[in-house]
Amino acid sequence: MQDELDGKAEVLLDPNTLSKDGTVALSTYSISEDGNYIAYGLSESGSDWVSIHVMNVTNKQPMPDKLSWVKFSSISWTHDGKGFFYSRYPAPREGGELDAGTETNINLNHQIYYHVLGTNQSEDVLCWKDPEHSKYSFGASVTEDGKYIILTVYEGCDPVNKLYYCEISSLPQGIEGFRERQEMLPFVKLIDNFDAQYQVVANDGDEFTFLTNKSAPRNKLVRVNIKNPELWTDVLPEHEKDVLESADAVNNNQLLVCYMSDVKHILQLRDLRTGNLIHQLPLEIGSVSEISCRREDKEVFIGFTSFLSPGIIYRCNLSPAIPEMKMFREISVPGFDRTSFQVKQVFVPSKDGTKIPMFLMSKKDINLDGSHPTLLYGYGGFNISLTPSFSVGRLVLCKNMGFVVCVANIRGGGEYGEEWHKAGALAMKQNCFDDFAACAEFLISTGYTSSSRLCIEGGSNGGLLIAASINQRPDLFGCALAHVGVMDMLRFHKFTIGHAWTTDYGCSDKEEEFQWLIKYSPLHNVRRPWEQSSGSQCQYPATMLLTADHDDRVVPLHSLKLLATLQHVLCTEDSPQTNPIIGRIDRKSGHGAGRPTQKLVCATVSLNIALASSLQVQSFMWFPAFNFRLTKLQTDIALWLRC
C-alpha cells in the first residue's frame, strides 16, 4: 500500500509468508470503506475451501476473527465498517479431523451470513438460506452507495440468476438485530426466475442500471426503478455482433464499457444516462484483464495482456474531453524480444460449416512444411472465453523447441455470446469436439504440423475435451495432456459442486440427457482403435492425465478411473499400444488456482518434457528461459516417455 500513486510502497499482506511450502494462497480480499480493515480469504493446498481472516490496516495486526467452511464467496463490507457479508456451506461432517479438499461429499445448502467484526463465527447473522432448493448458491454484495444489499441466486453455472434486494436503512435495529430475532433479512424479490442474467452496474438511489442477457444473447444495459419494477428501459441495446462483457460507472455520470469483438477487447467511454458513445479508448489487440475504478473516480486503471505482452497497467484520466491514457506499470521479462514472434488469427470451418476462431503463435516467418511440433489448446464450455493471454511456458516452447502454439475458440465458450455457448452445451456438446478436430485438421492440412507432432491440451471442462477427442479421433494427435478433467459424465453430479454443471452437460438421472452423455463420456468410450481401423496399427496418442489430491472441484477420481480404464483396455500383453498412458498426481494442490511458483515451474518442466518426448523434439533437455537443469527424476520421466 502507499499514500499516493508516486509515494513509497509498503507491504500490507505477503502471502509468501503464510506457509513454508507456499501451499497457502490468498484467494480473495476486501477492504472496508474507511480503509481501516482488510478481510481476506486463504486457501490451503489448492482447495476451494477458504478461511476468512481480518487484519487492522493501520498497525498491520491480525484480528482474532476466523471464519471457516467458506466456499464460492465474495466479501462485501457494509459502509459503517462494522462487518461484512460472505457465503458458506455447513461443515462437511461433525467430529474428527478433516483434510479439507480431499472429501467428495456433495456441496449443498449454501448460505449467506453477516459477520460482525470482533465476534465469533458462531454469532454470525444468518441472512439467507433456501433449504427447499439445497443446490442453489448465493452471493451478497453492498451497492457502491452503501444503501442496498443485493442478493444473487444461482441454480448452476448458466449465466442466469434471480436478484433480490434489501434496503439497509429499513432495518430498525440494523442487521445485528436479526441475530436475536432469528429471522432472515427481509429481501424483496425483484427478479424471481432464472430466465436471464442480471448484474448491477450502478444505482442512483432506487434507480438501477443492470447488464443483462434478457432477450439479448450478446448482452445489453437496462434501467429500472426497483420500487416501480413494471417499467424497464434499454440504455445500451445489444450490439449486432460484439459481446458486451462489462460496464463500470466512472467519473460520476459515465460508463467504461468493454466489448469483445472476434475474441479481442474494445474499450469505450459512454454516457451513463443515455448510453451514447463519448470516446473509444486506444487499445492494442489483446485482453482487458482488469478494470479498477469507483463511481466518483476521474481516474481509472486498466489491466491489459496479450500473447506477446506480459502485462500493462494503463492509467486513464477521464477529465479532459479526450481521455488521457498512459502506461502506469509494465511487466518486463528479461531476454524476451516480442519482435521475434508472430501471432495470427484464423477462422476454421467446422464440420457443420461454422467458422471457429483460432489464434496461432510462433517464431516469425516459419516454413509451412508440416514439420513443426504444435500445441493446440481448447476449453469450450460454461460461457467462458479464451482471450489472448501471456504464458512464459508457451513462449519457451516457441523459442526453444520451435513449437506453434494455438488456442481454439470452440463453441461452448462465450466468445460470441450466449448463442455460441448454447451451441456447445447439453444436446449440442458434440459440436465442441467437432470444432476442435476441425482446428487440428486445419493445422495439418495447411502445413503447420503433422498428426504425429500435434499435441492437444486442456483443463477441467477442457480436460473432458481432450479425453473425448482422443477417444473419437486417436489418429489425429501425437500427444494429449488432460488436466483435472471431468471424465465420468454419468456420475459427475454426485461429487462436491458437480451438480452445478448439469446446466451445461445435462444429468444422467434423466433418460434423454443420459443418451447425450453416454455418447461422449470419456470413461465410457475408451476403445481399441486398431480393432476398428481395417487392421491398421492405429493407437491412442501418448497421453498424460494430470490431477491433484486436494482438487475438490473436479475430484481426482475422474482422472484416476479413466487412467485405470485406459490401462486396462489398451495396455494388454498383445496390444499394439506402445505410446505411454501415464498419470501425474500433484500433492497439496487443487484445481489449479493459487499454486506456488515452485509447483508451476515443476509442472511446466514436466509438461515440456512430455511434449518433447512424445513429439520427438530434439535437444529438449535444456531450458534457458528457466535457467536451471532438469533433476534426475525429470530426466527419468523423459526416458520413460521415450520408451
Round the CA-based radius of gyration of the chain to a whole number and report it. Answer: 25
Cα dihedral 616→622→624→630 (10° resolution): 120
Our measurement of the distance from residue 419's CA atom to the centroid of its chain's CA atoms, rounded to an integer in Å, reads 20
Q: Helices 597-614 and 392-401 sit at what angle, rounded to 10 degrees?
A: 30
The answer to whether the beta carbons of residues 87 and 72 sit under 8 Å apart is yes
Q: Which amino acid is at 79?
A: H
Q: Which of 87, 460, 469, 614 is catalytic?
A: 460
Q: How far is CA 54 from CA 18, 28, 36, in A?
A: 14, 12, 10
Q: Are strands 83-88 and 76-77 parallel, antiparallel or unpaired?
A: antiparallel
Catalytic site includes residue 551: yes
Q: Which amino acid is at 45?
A: S
Longest dimension (CA), the chain: 80
Query: What's the sign of the alpha-carbon dihedral 462, 468, 473, 478?
Result: positive
Pairwise CA distance, residues 80 & 566, whole Å = 58
**Region of residue 380 (phi > 0: left; psi between -120 and 50: alpha; otherwise: beta):** left
The answer to whether the beta carbons of residues 457 and 375 sit under 8 Å apart is yes
Give the cell for residue 28: 480473495
Q: Which of 591, 606, 613, 614 is catalytic?
A: 591
Catalytic site includes residue 371: no
Backbone angles phi and psi of 153, in degrees to 5: -120, 130
Pairwise CA distance, residues 124 & 142, whole Å = 17
The DSSP letter of residue 513 is H
Pairwise CA distance, residues 573 & 116, whole Å = 65
Please report the DSSP string for 29-41 in residue order: EEE-TTSSEEEEE
SS3 of the chain: helix, strand, coil, percent, to 5: 20, 35, 45
3-state SS class at 171: coil
- Strand ranges, E, within 45-105: 50-56, 61-70, 76-77, 83-88
Q: Which of 551, 589, 613, 614 is catalytic?
A: 551
Q: How many other C-beta atoms can be found within 10 angstroms of the C-beta atom of residue 536?
A: 11
Please report the DSSP string for 519-547 in residue order: TT-GGG----GGGTTTT----PPEEEEEE
Give the cell for residue 178: 436479526
Give the cell for residue 283: 487499445
Cα dihedral 378→485→502→589 (10° resolution): -110
Our measurement of the distance from residue 640's CA atom to the centroid of its chain's CA atoms, rounded to an integer in Å, reads 33
- Angle 499-504-508 (CA atoms, 0-180°, nearest 5)? 55
Catalytic site includes residue 549: no
The catalytic residue positions are 460, 551, 591
